[in-house]
Amino acid sequence: MSLIELPVGTPARIAEIRGGQQLVHRLLGLGLRVGSEVAVLHHRRRGVVLSTGDTRVALGDGVVEKLFVEPLAVDEASVG
């Protein structure tokens, strides 16, 4: 599922980044990589604001549509 489809408050794990090395490095700088647990705080048009650990990150639509996630059960998640 694309990150843009993830409902607000649903914990998920980044499963795939469909972008080049430049995007992967940019996301690493923000603390996001395959395996990172995230939760959408709110949608901003086609972009999102998400949390990962104690960090909040705003991502635009060009990035959001390249991130694919696996929703987690609430008891599996450590994002909050």
DSSP secondary structure letters along 26-57: HHHHTT--TT-EEEEEEEETTEEEEEETTEEE
Whether 21 is covered by a domain: the verdict is: yes
Whether 44 is covered by a domain: the verdict is: yes
Whether 25 is covered by a domain: the verdict is: yes
Percent of the chain topping pLDDT 70? 91
The CATH number assigned to the domain holding 9 equals 2.30.30.90
Task: Work out the burial of residue 49: count CB atoms within 10 Å of its CB; fewer than 13 is exposed, 13-18 middle, 19 or more buried.
Answer: middle
Mean pLDDT over 50-69 rounds to: 92
pTM of the model: 0.84
- pLDDT beyond 80 at 17: yes
Domain of 32, in residue numbers: 3-71
Confidence of residue 77 (pLDDT cuts 50, 70, 90): low
- pLDDT beyond 70 at 78: no
Whether 79 is covered by a domain: the verdict is: no
Q: What is the mean pLDDT of the chain?
A: 89
Confidence of residue 7 (pLDDT cuts 50, 70, 90): very high
Whether 51 is covered by a domain: the verdict is: yes
Mean pLDDT over 29-57 rounds to: 91
Q: Work out how many domains the chain is built from and give that number.
A: 1
